[in-house]
Structure formats: C-alpha cells, structure tokens
Amino acid sequence: MTSLADPRPLFLPDAPLPPYAFVPGRAPHPVSDPAGHMYGKPPERPPAPDPQRWQECPAFLRGVDLFNHGYYWEAHESWEGLWHACGRMGPTADFLRGLIKLAAAGVKVREGVPSGVSSHAKRAAAIFHNAAQRFGDEDVRVFGLRLGDLLAAARAAAALGSSVQSDAGADARIVFNCVLFPQATAEE
C-alpha cells in the first residue's frame, strides 16, 4: 500500500513486494538458492503484451512497481519474461529491452560497478532514443511511459559514473531519481 508520505504508487497493490532486493553476492539468489524469495516457484510465462493495453498486463505493471521501489533485479526479471514473450525482436521487444537495461543499471549501482551502470544505462538511452526517432517525438507514450522521460532517466543513470559506490545489504534501495508512472493517453 502506498502512504501519503510515499510518492511511489503501487500499480498492483495486492502483489506484495519481495522480502529483499537481490544484489549479487549480498543475498541468496532468488531462484537458485533454497533461501531465495522465488525458489521453487515456476517462472511466469506471460503472454506477449499489447502496448495499447498495458493496463491489463500484470507482468509489466509488476516490473514498474518493483523498479520504483528499488527491486531492480526483480524488475529486470519481470520485464524479461515479456521480452521473451514478444520473441525478443520488434518495437515492443526493443522497448522492453530498454527497461531491462535501465533496471540492470540499477543492479550495477547497488553492486558498485560504475562501468556496468554506464554501459547498461547508455544502452537503455540509445534504445529509448531510437524509439523516439521511430515515433518522431519524445512525447509519445509507449506502455503509458513517455519516451522523453525514459531517455532522461537513462542519461541521468549513465552520468552517475564514478560516484557509484558499493552498497552493503539487500534492503531495497531506490538509486534513481525517477518514478516510472505509466499514464493512458487520450487514444487509449
């Protein structure tokens, strides 16, 4: 549940956030370690999403919630399932790959790996830039997210550079100064 003090909404309020945010080397691997928070749960195989009906895509919204609350590895996993469902090719898959790369940059911030932050964030920025060029406008929303906002978030993440330091612990920690807030357009 989102409190008045928490400006980061939950788009799937009935889906609890994980007990910890996975950071490699700092917490049990969520899937392969018996102590992992996803251990023994079969991976979700979501259907290919319809970008025009993103409000009806729990895996996308779950990724947004996870990302916004500092669960970058888990957000990556949620969006990766959709990317696979899209066949990993095409405009929708490319957009999802941009989100995956941005989430991977968050993991690298938590690990304290500046080069990883930079490379993942720059790749995300390039993907969002290409999408904006394809649509001819940074104000276009894809999955309810404005491409210009995503591009700015990815560029800001890439600029973190050498200020990134290793982060102890596996408590979820928000490392980016952005909130993914999908909104319907007039056409949706």
Structural tokens at position 74: 């888990």
Q: Is residue 139 part of a domain?
A: yes
> Does 88 map to a domain?
yes
Q: Does residue 43 lie in a domain region?
A: no
Residue 171 lies in a domain: no
Q: What pLDDT score was predicted for residue 123?
A: 97
Q: Are 83 and 34 in contact (CB under 8 A)?
A: no
* pLDDT computed for residue 11 by the predictor: 95
Q: Residue-wise pLDDT tens for the chain (188 aa)?
A: 333 345 788 999 999 999 999 998 888 999 999 999 989 988 889 999 999 999 999 999 999 999 999 999 999 999 999 999 999 999 999 999 999 999 999 999 998 889 999 999 999 999 999 999 988 889 999 999 999 999 999 999 999 866 777 666 657 788 888 899 999 875 65
Which residues span the domain enclosing 73?
54-163
Residue 22 structure tokens = 């996975």
Q: Has residue 21 been placed in a domain?
A: no
Residue 6 tokens, joined:
């928490």
Biggest CA–CA distance in the chain, Å, is 48
Residue 64 inside a domain? The answer is yes
Please report, for the domain that includes residue 150, its CATH number: 1.10.3450.10
Tokens, residue 82 = 């959709």
* 93 assigned to some structural domain: yes
Cα–Cα distance between 125 and 151 in angstroms, integer? 5
Are the beta carbons of 164 and 114 closer than 8 angstroms? yes
Residue 66 domain-assigned? yes
How many domains is the chain partitioned into structurally? 1
Contact status, residue 105 vs residue 157, Cβ threshold 8 Å: yes
Cα dist. 44→47, 80, 136, 137, 187 in Å?
10, 10, 34, 34, 30
Measured from the Cβ of residue 187, the count of other Cβ atoms closer than 10 Å reads 6
Sign of CA dihedral 135, 136, 141, 145: positive
